[in-house]
Structure 1
């Protein structure tokens, strides 16, 4: 049985999620201790527990330690079983992170799976539904996956209550991925959504993002829109900026917070986008971390991103623990880095 130190590297929930996903794929049991040891509140939170329970249900795993605040878990996977599943986090925990835990294994199942997850769809420290729908899933589809999806209703902090539904079609093997050149910038789209909040907030956020990007991008290349969601889904606010280029796609998100001015949310987001535009790397920092496991499943491929975060470096080490492969990094110009997976 593999032994995983949950405090390793960045010491967060990604160590746990990747370990569970890899155990489901490989059939290797593991014990993880010091779960989220690098966080101020270590142990399993409701979101992590929901992901573990979902994974255990799908692969009929034998488990120990699945309870709130637990700092040690044993996970012995069985066979991955396709089916119709509904998982409820019971809080505003991220539905997207739960989905990313179980998605790789369901791509290897023998039949189509339909999964509904309820919780938070637009919450801090997690990808939003739009990021999965418009960036992450399209990359997986370019590798041969087929994932039909729908946002039934959004869920913001602190209430949650969101719901996504996905239909995951099995694939014999993923095709290798190669994203090494962004190409010419084609368009930037800013979308600000509000629920139970005045529309003027979204308009101010968009204007703040534009003010930052106008220093680097022609205004004619920037499109924007305000989306007013039904009041009962709120209060909540999210602003997304999608960057499209010849062979690259990236999205960055700002979430409204009580007591934080709309201009502050927009300027922070604009500066993150501007940093991405100052590089020639096609893969943004968040997508880079999430592409590692699909790349490993394909067994071959490479992409260029900015200097990897500790989060990404930790994820690479966890994947190498479960699979007979190695990630090689090569420094390029302007702090860009190429990440390539090779078999041992």
Structure 2
């Protein structure tokens, strides 16, 4: 039984999600105490509880403490089961985080799985759908884990109502760790604004401000399509495409925040990445750690990547992964960033 203190390091929901994912992948039970104890609303929120329930369904786990506001959990996984699943957060809580919880386990299953997920698709503090589609999923395919993602409907806070469909193919025998230390030549850059149920001028102002700051022309500035029953909501995205990867940066509009400030905040993120020579941005560097560690474990071969920033979130994630898998994360300062080596132990 692996015992984990949920208050250590960054102390957030990622500790829970990584523990659930790797417990399913390895068959190791765990207990988690002091869940999100330092947050304004400690314990399991609906989004976290959906992750627990999804993991339970995928592997037939025995669980204790799976209830709202619970600050402790005991999880004993059963056998992984491929299948058709429907997971709905029921609020604007992030359904992409629910997906990332079960994704690693389902790629180790013995047949394809099809998922329908409902909730928030574009949330602060969570990977937006377009980040998963353009940044994360292509690297997963390169790792040997094929996946198809489809956005059916955008979902924003506080209404939610978003919907994603995903197909995950088995990949246990195909996983191959690889190094990702350089971006390669830049191929294109573009921005999009999704602002359903808001005046069109909001999107136009954000894009104009961003385009002026980054020197992007009109063809690089796009207003996203609006589907039925979406919004209100506002997400401004910048996508940078390189030969070896793509990075997606996002800022969210909210009541009382000007369109110009949303754009300026996004420009700041983009420029910080452009000033570095490291491959991955801070969020992708964090989220890439788990699938890469799985591949290193399965193949017994080291892999390395570089990133622009080593966040507290990433460091905590490394520590949790090391509790479940026989791997070690070695970090060192590299040119304009950090170098992360994942080694089998």
Q: TM-score range by the shorter chain?
A: over 0.9
Separation in structure 1 between the aligned mates of residue 218 and residue 327 of structure 2, nearest angstrom = 41
Q: 1:42 to 1:100 in 2, by over 3 A?
A: same
Look up the match of 2:279: 282
Q: CA deviation at 1:211?
A: 2.9
Q: CA deviation at 1:202?
A: 0.8
SS state at 1:152 partner: strand
- With 4-13 and 180-189 compared, the bigger mean Cα shift is at 180-189
Cα deviations by residue, 1:23-46 (Å, 9 ceiling, x for unpaired): 000000000001012322110000
Look up the match of 2:315: 313
Separation in structure 2 between the aligned mates of residue 211 and residue 39 of structure 1, nearest angstrom = 38
**1:1-344 equivalence runs, <5 A:** 1-171=1-171, 172-214=173-215, 219=216, 223-230=220-227, 232-299=229-296, 300-334=302-336, 336-344=337-345
TM-score, normalization by structure 2: 0.96
Q: How many residues align?
A: 339
CA contact (8 A) 2:281 2:309 kept: no
Separation in structure 1 between the aligned mates of residue 225 and residue 255 of structure 2, nearest angstrom = 18
Q: CA deviation at 1:2?
A: 0.8
TM-score, normalization by structure 1: 0.96
Separation in structure 2 between the aligned mates of residue 139 and residue 77 of structure 1, nearest angstrom = 27
Q: CA deviation at 1:231?
A: 5.8
Separation in structure 2 between the aligned mates of residue 146 and residue 298 of structure 1, nearest angstrom = 14
Cα deviations by residue, 1:70-125 (Å, 9 ceiling, x for unpaired): 00000000001001110111100101000000000000000011111111101111
Separation in structure 2 between the aligned mates of residue 81 and residue 89 of structure 1, nearest angstrom = 21
Separation in structure 2 between the aligned mates of residue 231 and residue 115 of structure 1, nearest angstrom = 21
More strand by share: 1
Q: CA deviation at 1:221?
A: 11
Q: CA deviation at 1:276?
A: 0.4
Please identify runs of 4+ aligned residues in structure 1 that moved more than 6 A.
none
Separation in structure 1 between the aligned mates of residue 7 and residue 213 of structure 2, nearest angstrom = 37
CA contact (8 A) 2:115 2:165 kept: yes
Q: CA deviation at 1:200?
A: 1.1
Separation in structure 2 between the aligned mates of residue 259 and residue 232 of structure 1, nearest angstrom = 24
Separation in structure 1 between the aligned mates of residue 23 and residue 85 of structure 2, nearest angstrom = 20
CA contact (8 A) 2:278 2:335 kept: no
Separation in structure 1 between the aligned mates of residue 244 and residue 60 of structure 2, nearest angstrom = 40
Separation in structure 2 between the aligned mates of residue 148 and residue 183 of structure 1, nearest angstrom = 25
Separation in structure 2 between the aligned mates of residue 228 and residue 258 of structure 1, nearest angstrom = 22
Q: CA deviation at 1:307?
A: 2.9
Q: 1:259 to 1:293 in 2, by over 3 A?
A: same
SS state at 1:148 partner: strand
- With 227-236 and 263-272 compared, the bigger mean Cα shift is at 227-236
For the aligned residues, what is the CA RMSD? Answer: 1.3
CA contact (8 A) 1:60 1:80 kept: yes
Look up the match of 2:299: none
Q: CA deviation at 1:144?
A: 1.0
Gap regions ≥5 residues in structure 1: none
SS state at 1:236 partner: coil
SS state at 1:269 partner: helix
SS state at 1:178 partner: coil
CA contact (8 A) 2:139 2:245 kept: no
